[in-house]
Amino acid sequence: MDETKIIIWLPRILGIGLVLFLSLFAADVFGEYSGWQLAIALFMHLIPSLVLLAAVAIAWKRELFGAIAFLFGAIFYVCVIGFDGHWTWYAFISGPAVVVSALYFAAWRQKRKLKN
């Protein structure tokens, strides 16, 4: 596979992977709720995943948006959790988001370079 295609496709694939990973955390509602409460709780727990999925969809054509959105998501997570959390929380949630952001930025630069 061409190096250019890898740079273009890697942030999209990893972005979807991060969305799926974050969606796993919504599974904790199944033991606590039932009926309509379950549906509402599941939706509430999936909001971050849905926001990032929308970011991936928009970034499909606008890589710079993806770079900004994933970086903002990583920073937002750290600010919401606060600095009293364990470092692994940041590493496993914000770390991959920063990597995806950097990859989207590289893809944006690559496409811009190809246009010129």
pLDDT at 32: 87
The answer to whether the CB of 26 falls within 8 A of the CB of 43 is: no
pLDDT of residue 113: 86
7 contact partners, CB below 8 Å, separation of at least 6: 103, 106, 107, 110
Continuous segment of H or E residues that includes residue 34:
none
DSSP 76-100: HHHHHH-TTS-HHHIIIIIHHHHHH
pLDDT of residue 116: 75
C-alpha dihedral (11, 108, 58, 26), degrees to nearest 10: 30
Query: Are residues 77 and 83 in contact, defined by beta-carbon separation less than 8 angstroms?
Result: no
How far apart are the C-alpha atoms of 50 and 76, rounded to whole Å? 15
The boundaries of the domain holding residue 36 are 3-115
Beta-carbon-side half-sphere exposure of residue 105 (alpha carbons within 13 Å):
11
CA distance 64 to 102: 10
Residue 115, pLDDT score: 82
What's residue 1's pLDDT?
64
Give 10-residue mean pLDDT values along the chain (116 residues): 87 97 92 90 94 96 97 92 79 94 96 84
Give how many domains the chain has, as a whole number.
1
pLDDT in the model for residue 71: 97
